[in-house]
Structure 1
Amino acid sequence: VRYRVVVERSVLHLPGGIAELSAALGRDERVRVVDEVPTKLVIVDRSLAMVPLTSQALEPAALVVHASGLLESLSGLFESVWRDALPLRLGVPATPGAPATVVEEERDGPDGTDLEILSLLLAGLTDASVAKQLDLGLRTVQRRVKRLMELTGVTTRLQLGWHTYEKGWVARGEQG
């Protein structure tokens, strides 16, 4: 089972917050941090979501959302927040036996080769043509494209192209 969790930065300052996040990261959960999440939300297998309801009732309550347009919207909200959040990783303890620390990672961006691949794909070349042009293996090009799709949180190459342009990874030439 794979988990992806987005937490608010304030969680890092709670008593036991670092320990909880360290334990989660130790279980190979993927954790990212943002200043503020728009809502608390749990999505399971992209087929079910739970949204806590705020009420004056003493008993906790949640809205359960099954496959629907609302579920798709909630999934899109999560993916958007996930994409903009910073990844966390376990830091090395300063002294042996001390608890691990949680460190915010800088976002991994595309390197020069990734940008060349994206530019050639946007120009309409196939993966095989890109591999030949850049003297790379076909699997290397495919693996890099897959990593870029994961990095940007998209599921199609069309979305990757749009994201590439929006992030300024490639620029459109001046039109005369």
Structure 2
Amino acid sequence: MLGALGLAPDEEAVYRALLGRPSATAMLLADALELPEGVVEKSLAHLVEWGLALRSGGEAFVAAPPAMALGALITERRDGLRMAEQALVTFAEEHRAAVAGRSINDLIEVVTGVDAIRLRFQQVQQAARREIRNFVTAPYIAVRPGQNSQEDAAARRGVRFRVVLERPVLAEPDIVAEVVDSLSRGVELRVVDSLPMKLILADDDLALVPISAPLATPPGSEPGAVLLHRSGLLAALEALFETVWQRAYPLELSAFGGELPYAEQEGDEPTELDRRILALLLSGLTDQAVATQLDLSLRTLQRRLRHLMDLAGVESRMQLGWHASRHGWA
């Protein structure tokens, strides 16, 4: 109750016990509160220092009247908070002046060339201490998924990874194995139909944004990117990432990994194999990629999908996906 005034729980307990007695020694209070005498003595010393208790001759103590003693502490805290508010205004003005005094070159660095972009990509990840957020689109400029040497190092530092994949990325060669590897290492992956840009964010301090893709780069020129330091523009990119993350479809390791004995069943409920097929298709993989991942023929996969559509009573895959999500099939 009195923690807001700076009193520890033991100190508050000693003060309240002292209020109910004309005077008391540390030994008496220790017995009454079932606390070690040393703890009570230390609490009494602090109470005397703050004016909440007084010595009453010898080893006895008396409580100072609450209205006077606690009132003084409350007033002191109020004054301290007012001073802190004034300091906040001063500090905010100093920060605004410092930021306003920075040139655009201090906030935005233009990076040109694949090698330079690759270097900045690694440095952004090295700078992260809490979280890395990433938009991944194809084609790749500098670093392919699975070839990111800094990802493991950042993960060992306890850095959280949240990555949104654009759906066409899942059609890239060997991407399924890379997705499984990332999920098994704790990377959080989600997928959306399309992304507005490539992006990597390190905490709320740095962002690297490619501004031209290899296919859009004029012949003879090199791809470029911008490195952003903390600013209003970086805050806008953070908000964009969080908005996309909320609507993206999560990828689960259970849909990709593990041995699954196959038996083609025609029951009234989807089998475990059917559930995995649906999960992978909803993740954005093509029929051929799903069949390869589950070691099925393309014809068998499509037969299972036809059976699931019959079970759901639907005529299209879009309707099947909606039915599967609503009824917990995937």
**TM-score, with normalisation over the residues of structure 2?**
0.29
* Runs of 4 or more consecutive aligned structure 1 residues displaced over 4 Å after TM superposition: none
Task: Output the amino acid matched with 1:87.
Answer: P
1:10 aligned residue (159, 168, 175): 168
1:62/1:87 CA distance change after superposition, 3 Å: same
Quote the RMSD (CA, aligned, Å).
2.4
| Residue of structure 2 aligned with 1:75, choices 235, 238, 250 | 238
1:50 and 2:208 correspond: yes
Q: 1:19 aligns with which of 177, 188, 208?
A: 177
Q: What SS does the aligned partner of 2:252 have?
A: strand
Higher-RCO chain (CA-CA 8 Å, sequence separation at least 6): 1
Indicate the residue corresponding to 2:187 in structure 1.
Answer: 29
1-structure distance, mates of 2:245, 2:233: 18
Separation (CA, whole Å) in 2 of partners of 1:12 and 1:22: 12
Distance 1:26 1:58 in 2: 39
Name structure 2 gaps, 5 residues minimum.
1-158, 262-275, 284-330
Inter-partner Cα distance in structure 1 for 2:185 and 2:221: 33
Aligned to 1:93: 258
Q: Quick check: 1:84 aligned with 2:247?
A: yes
| Distance apart, 1:60 and its partner CA | 3.7
Q: How far 1:58 sits from its partner (Å)? A: 4.5
Q: Take 1:94 and 1:37, find their aligned partners in 2: how far apart are those partners?
A: 33
Determine the C-alpha separation between the residues in 1 that align with 2:252 and 2:260.
18
Matched, 1:38 2:196: yes
Which residue type is aligned with residue 188 of structure 2? R
Partner amino acid for 1:93?
Answer: G
Alignment correspondent of 1:110 = none
Structure 1 CA distance, aligned partners of 2:235 and 2:170?
30
- 2:180 partner amino acid: S
1:162 equivalent in structure 2:
none
Tell me the percent identity.
44
2-structure distance, mates of 1:8, 1:94? 27
1:64 aligns with 2:251: no
Q: How many residues align?
A: 102
Deviation track 1:4-58 (CA, whole Å, cap 9, x = no partner) reads 0000112222211111111110110000000001111000011100000214364
Q: Matched residues in 1 for 2:251 and 2:221: separation?
A: 34
- Determine the C-alpha separation between the residues in 2 that align with 1:2 and 1:14: 25
